Amino acid sequence: MTSSPTPAHARISIIGAGPGGLTCARILQRHGIEATVYDRDPAGDARDQGGSLDLHEEDGQLALREAGLLERFHALARFEGQEMRSMDPAGRVLAHHVPEEGEKRKPEIDRGRLRDLLLGSLPEGTVQWGRTLASVSGTAGGPRTLTFTDGTVTEADLVIGADGAFSRVRPAVSPAAPHYTGVGFVEAWFDDLDDAHPEVAELVGQGSAHAADGERGLFAQRNGGGHLRVYIMRKVPLDWMAAAGLRPDDTDGIRAHLAREYASWSPPLLGLITDNDGPYVDRPLFALPVPHTWEHTPGVTLLGDAAHLMPPLGVGVNLAMLDACDLALALARAATIDDAVRDYEKTMLARSSEIARTLEGGAEFLLEVPDGNGPPDHAHA
């Protein structure tokens, strides 16, 4: 068997330019270790990056501190976004958290701004865009071969799968596949919130608002630039839209269908479903088996959703960035790639298994009637 190379002399490939992959590359480079990130997007600004994220002091912000980016994050973050309201379907506020002056426990930042922050910290050329991974091959005794859909091939001493729920790297270490949780989100958008939708702005406040009745729920969340995203949450079959005779582009039909389902809710809350700007986006929730672990496989490892896809209860991006931090620091401190990955996986798999057990079935928790003790943690799609 070929001996494992030292991290400083290894060819390290990170698949996925999300928060986890970029954080890992940044911290590695701060310790003098080069890594190349491959991403299927044609460019960093090629698509909408999704909604707002709350980065926690104990994980997401910790990783940014190791990346040397915490002060820049604080300059970009929306601390007022920590405000949270919990309501019943009649629109009565059951709990209301207003952040204290100087509170930094979990401020908000848009995914796009976080990605820009991380990308801007990396030397040009670190990320190779338009590179969609097809497969990882090779044996434990030698380098891994990455084959991309454009026909190109490269070799790596370590492949880090940071490529999300339907990871192309995961099959190299685990046969596990995500399963549908039985809960789906439909995403709706509001633009120019304060001027064009003042009633909605007043209802949601400066942060987010949640309501549920046991079978369905809503999670509305302020984003930067006057935007709002609403996640309409329901227990539905995976093919609910086709079964209702609807198409993804049938905005009026989807609006009418959802309005009927939420007809008993108060008019202001119903407005979060019916008064949106633009189309709806169907986002079924998937999760990996609990616990998801694997036998150590030299030359390959996973982080973030590729390793431990869970219901969106505010832990996903934070865990991904903490994974990235732990893996990068393990590589900076270890004598060999293999030693580093073993140390990282020992910590990460134990942590993620414990959290996954706690959150198992948590997608339905989003639909539970609020008890007045406070809203659930964020439901980020």
**Residues of the binding site:** 47, 54, 111, 305
What does the angle CA 381 – CA 114 – CA 69 come to, to the nearest 5 degrees? 140
DSSP string covering 136-169: EE--TTS-EEEEETTS-EEEESEEEE---TT-SS
Judged on CB neighbours under 10 Å (0-12, 13-18, 19+), 141 is exposed
Neighbours of 90 (CB within 10 A): 12
Q: Kind and range of the H or E element at 255?
A: helix 251-261
Say how far apart CA 205 and CA 289 lie, in whole Å.
36
Backbone angles phi, psi at 106, to 5 degrees: -160, 70
What is the C-alpha separation between 375 and 307, in angstroms, rounded?
27
Task: Report the distance separating Cα 349 and Cα 176, nearest Å.
Answer: 15
- Indicate the DSSP class of residue 78: B
Binding-site residue set for NADPH: 47
The binding site for FAD consists of 54, 111, 305
